[in-house]
């Protein structure tokens, strides 16, 4: 026993912490405890103090100040997973990583050893390519090429809406997209009042997303010029800028973007109260690739800004939209003179422009490339002004005039005569246009007009007057007369002799049209109707619908009979027999019943072509039609049975279960 007590220990005896606990906990019956002679594994330092074992605290990197972490983070391999992994540790690390600019990052590629110092034996371990590059001074250019590749082509797109729009998310996008091809498009919509996007978030994008090409900011009041300055500094590839309801942004930041982003091609500025003429001057001066610009509801934009923009960039501006601006006739004069590259021009709600402005614009002789012209709610549009515009824009193909209350038949007919290339004419809420204007347009279009549309033109009165024999407009393919309550059968009878080659017909909302006027019209369409919309024609009956099915069934693809209360099962039977290519059928709020749906499903011509069927509001349909709907469902992609009170909830559930490939509205 004395020999055991005199034993001093050796390499073979190394008590573990657990052994020590057992040794100290021995009872009085045993004098000594001798554990098995096995070397223990010690994973952490311990301090023995009596019967307690205390584990030492591990040192944490979190105790380092931001300056030290910054130096560590910027030396992480560029384009590797290490940066994303560090960003996921904590919000502090993420925000710190997002403050590092691209030029502050280390040039070490992920998986690549750092360049050895002089005399280091590690040089022998470098690839031969690196050795040769170092000898002839090519290392720096090779690294820059790696950086460009790592920035990517900017094909990633991110959209943050409402509560999702925060600075933390923007920081995560800035850090995380660098190694996944680079961020190309960013859209932020909505304002988060609790922790919304601020300048810090935009700064992170500016520092970490040099491949950004499109930026859209909508309804964000918490950002200012400070954030856009960083975008201008870091995103030199920006091509599209869209700002809407951003009251904190001024001309200063937009001038910086114009100077730093020469590739800028599209600019939209809407309801930004602090943006004015200086921004437009900068865009015209520094953006040689600017082709599209939209300005809406910006009270500080005036004639000086429009004049500076067009005088500098008129030779490459192609599409321009000006809406609700405080500009006068001077701006239209400048556009008419300098807009030599314009192909699309939209002038909307410009209350300070008079007849003289449109006359001067047409007389400027600079709009020979103009193809599309849209004028809405401009009181200066008169017969004299629109005639001058037609002479100055001889190659215009599409003309849309909305809410031009002073425009009459004479002005429209004069435009059609002078515009040698006119193909599409649309008139909305022009209440001085009558049937005489409609016939005059068709007669004087000289076989060039392809589409003609009238909507809410209340000046049309269906008068029974004699019309001499008029030459037909063989070029017209599409005719749309919507909600013109005065248009009726007498006018349709005349039109039936003028439009023999129609393929698209839209007569929605014409309460005065009956079978008497519509039947000869559809019988005169020799080319074969493809799309027919008769929604709201409450006096059209099965007689006309059956004629349409028989005469045009081989070409008809869309038929809209929504609200035609006189249409019954007889129309569906004719459609099922003759319409072999019909894809879209709307018989909502009609008088069709289960028998009509059964006839439709039994038709061999239609059951494999029909893709969309709407029965909304068909109160005569019941659960008895469910087997036939199921039969039609083999080809259906969409089915609308809303407000069909005769179809039970159980029937709807069965349809949803069986037609699982079809989108059902119930």
Considering the domain architecture, whether residues 83 and 218 belong to the same structural domain is answered as yes
CA distances, 604 to each of 145, 568, 654 (Å): 64, 20, 25
pLDDT in tens, 427-442: 999 999 998 899 899 9
Residue 458 lies in a domain: no
Tokens 């371990």 -> residue: 125
CB 414 within 8 A of CB 387: yes
> Looking at residue 101, what is its pLDDT?
65
Longest dimension (CA), the chain: 141
pLDDT in tens, 136-193: 332 232 223 223 333 446 678 889 888 888 888 887 887 777 666 678 999 999 876 6
- pLDDT band of 84, cuts 50, 70, 90: low
509: left (phi over 0), alpha (psi -120 to 50) or beta: left
Residue 630 lies in a domain: yes
Angle made by CA atoms 166, 170, 175, in degrees to the nearest 5? 150
- List the single range of 21-35, 84-98, 410-424, 514-528 with lowest mean pLDDT: 21-35
Domains of the chain: total: 3
Considering the domain architecture, whether residues 193 and 270 belong to the same structural domain is answered as yes
Residue 224 lies in a domain: yes
Tokens encoding 397: 């193909």
Tokens 């239209």 -> residue: 332
Q: What integer best gives the mean pLDDT of the chain? A: 81
Query: What percentage of the chain has pLDDT greater than the value 70?
Result: 74
Tokens encoding 623: 């659960």
How many angstroms separate the CA atoms of 88 and 109, rounded? 20
- pTM for the predicted model, two decimal places: 0.78
Considering the domain architecture, whether residues 589 and 655 belong to the same structural domain is answered as yes
Considering the domain architecture, whether residues 42 and 11 belong to the same structural domain is answered as yes
CB 509 within 8 A of CB 482: yes
**DSSP-derived secondary structure letter, 609:** T
> Looking at residue 119, what is its pLDDT?
38
Residue 9 lies in a domain: yes
Q: Pick from 302, 298, 357: which is nearest to 327 by CA?
A: 302
Q: Is 216 helix (H, G, I), strand (E, B) or coil?
A: strand
Tokens encoding 560: 């809209």
Domain end marker among 259, 280, 301? 301
- pLDDT band of 626, cuts 50, 70, 90: very high
Considering the domain architecture, whether residues 71 and 164 belong to the same structural domain is answered as yes
Domain end marker among 248, 279, 301? 301
Q: Pick from 258, 569, 649, 137: which is nearest to 561 by CA?
A: 569
CB 356 within 8 A of CB 328: no
Residue 312 lies in a domain: no
Q: Pick from 232, 185, 183: which is nearest to 208 by CA?
A: 183
Q: What is the CATH number of the domain that holds 87?
A: 3.80.10
> Looking at residue 85, what is its pLDDT?
66
How many angstroms separate the CA atoms of 115 and 133, rounded? 12
Domain, as residue range, for 251: 66-106+140-301
* Dihedral angle sign, alpha carbons of residues 490, 491, 496, 497: positive
Considering the domain architecture, whether residues 156 and 43 belong to the same structural domain is answered as no
Considering the domain architecture, whether residues 587 and 663 belong to the same structural domain is answered as yes
Domain end marker among 269, 301, 333? 301
> Looking at residue 396, what is its pLDDT?
94
Q: What is the CATH number of the domain that holds 658?
A: 3.80.10.10
Tokens 């393919």 -> residue: 477
Tell me what the mean pLDDT of segment 387-403 comes to: 93
Considering the domain architecture, whether residues 14 and 93 belong to the same structural domain is answered as no
Residue 222 lies in a domain: yes
Residue 252 lies in a domain: yes
- Start-to-end C-alpha separation, the chain: 94
pLDDT in tens, 203-247: 888 888 888 999 999 999 889 999 999 999 889 999 999 999 999
Tokens 């070409």 -> residue: 555
> Looking at residue 357, what is its pLDDT?
94
- List the single range of 181-195, 436-450, 484-498 with lowest mean pLDDT: 181-195
Considering the domain architecture, whether residues 153 and 214 belong to the same structural domain is answered as yes
582: left (phi over 0), alpha (psi -120 to 50) or beta: beta
> Looking at residue 155, what is its pLDDT?
76
CB 424 within 8 A of CB 344: no
In 112-226, DSSP assigns E strands to: 156-161, 183-189, 214-218
Considering the domain architecture, whether residues 87 and 23 belong to the same structural domain is answered as no
Residue 654 lies in a domain: yes
How many angstroms separate the CA atoms of 142 and 127, rounded? 13
Burial of 271 from C-beta contacts in 10 A (0-12 / 13-18 / 19+): middle
pLDDT in tens, 312-366: 998 999 999 999 999 999 999 999 999 999 999 999 999 999 999 999 999 888 9
Considering the domain architecture, whether residues 43 and 91 belong to the same structural domain is answered as no
Considering the domain architecture, whether residues 619 and 661 belong to the same structural domain is answered as yes
Give the CB-side neighbour count of residue 184, counting CA atoms within 13 A: 8
């Amino acid at each position: 026993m004395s020999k055991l007590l005199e034993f001093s220990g050796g390499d073979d005896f190394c008590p573990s912490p657990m052994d020590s606990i057992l040794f100290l906990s021995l009872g009085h019956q045993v004098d000594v405890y001798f554990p098995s002679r096995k070397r223990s594994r010690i994973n952490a330092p311990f301090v023995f103090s009596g019967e307690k074992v205390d584990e030492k605290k591990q040192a944490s990197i979190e105790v380092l100040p931001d300056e030290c972490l910054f130096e560590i983070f910027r030396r992480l391999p560029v384009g590797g997973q290490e940066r994303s992994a560090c960003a996921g540790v904590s919000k502090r690390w993420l925000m710190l990583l997002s403050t590092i600019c691209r030029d502050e990052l280390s040039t070490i590629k992920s998986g690549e050893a750092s360049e050895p110092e002089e005399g280091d034996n590690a040089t022998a371990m470098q690839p031969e390519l690196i050795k040769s590059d170092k000898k002839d001074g090519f290392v720096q250019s090779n690294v820059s090429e790696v950086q460009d590749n790592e920035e990517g082509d900017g094909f990633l797109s991110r959209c943050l809406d409402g509560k999702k729009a925060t600075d933390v998310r923007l920081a995560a996008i800035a850090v995380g997209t660098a190694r996944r091809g680079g961020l190309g498009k960013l859209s932020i919509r909505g304002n988060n009042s609790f922790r919304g996007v601020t300048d810090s978030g935009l700064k992170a994008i500016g520092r970490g997303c040099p491949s950004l090409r499109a930026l859209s900011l909508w309804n964000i009041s918490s950002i200012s010029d400070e954030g856009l300055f960083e975008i201008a500094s870091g995103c030199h590839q920006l091509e599209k800028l869209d700002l809407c309801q951003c009251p904190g942004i001024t001309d200063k930041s937009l001038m910086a973007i114009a100077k730093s982003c020469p590739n800028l091609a599209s600019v939209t500025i809407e309801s930004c109260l602090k943006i004015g003429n200086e921004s437009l001057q900068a865009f015209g001066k520094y953006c040689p690739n600017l082709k599209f610009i939209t300005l809406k509801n910006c009270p500080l934009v005036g004639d000086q800004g429009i004049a500076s923009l067009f005088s500098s960039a008129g030779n490459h501006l192609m599409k321009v939209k000006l809406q609700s601006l405080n500009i006068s006739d001077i701006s239209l004069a400048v556009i008419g003179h300098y807009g030599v590259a314009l192909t699309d021009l939209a002038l909307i709600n410009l209350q300070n422009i008079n007849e003289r402005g449109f006359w001067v614009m047409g007389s400027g002789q600079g709009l020979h490339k103009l193809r599309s012209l849209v004028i809405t709610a401009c009181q200066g549009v008169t017969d004299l002004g629109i005639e001058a515009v037609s002479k100055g824009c001889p190659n215009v193909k599409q003309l849309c005039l909305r809410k031009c209350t002073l425009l009459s038949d004479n002005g429209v007919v004069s435009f059609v005569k002078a515009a040698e290339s006119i193909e599409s004419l649309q008139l909305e809420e022009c209440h001085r246009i009558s049937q005489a204007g409609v016939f005059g347009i068709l007669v004087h279009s000289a076989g060039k007009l392809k589409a003609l549309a009238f909507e809410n033109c209340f000046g049309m009165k269906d008068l029974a007057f004699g019309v001499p024999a008029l030459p037909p407009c063989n070029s017209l393919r599409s005719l749309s007369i919507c909600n013109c309550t005065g248009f009726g059968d007498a006018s349709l009878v005349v039109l039936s002799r003028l439009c023999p080659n129609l393929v698209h017909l839209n007569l929605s909302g014409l309460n005065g049209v009956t079978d008497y006027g519509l039947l000869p019209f559809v019988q005169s369409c020799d080319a074969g109707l493809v799309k027919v919309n008769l929604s709201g024609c409450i006096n059209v009956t099965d007689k006309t619908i059956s004629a349409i099915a028989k005469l045009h069934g081989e070409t008809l693809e869309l038929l809209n009979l929504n609200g035609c209360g006189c249409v019954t099962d007889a129309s569906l039977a004719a459609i099922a027999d003759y319409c072999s290519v019909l894809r879209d059928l709307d018989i909502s709020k009609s008088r069709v019943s289960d028998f009509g749906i059964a006839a439709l499903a039994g038709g061999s011509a239609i059951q494999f072509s029909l893709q969309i069927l709407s029965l909304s509001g068909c109160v005569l349909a019941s659960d008895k039609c469910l087997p036939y709907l199921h039969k039609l469902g083999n080809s259906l992609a969409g089915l609308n049975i809303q407000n069909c009170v005769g179809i039970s909830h159980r029937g709807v559930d069965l349809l949803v279960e069986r037609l699982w490939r079809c989108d059902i509205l119930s």
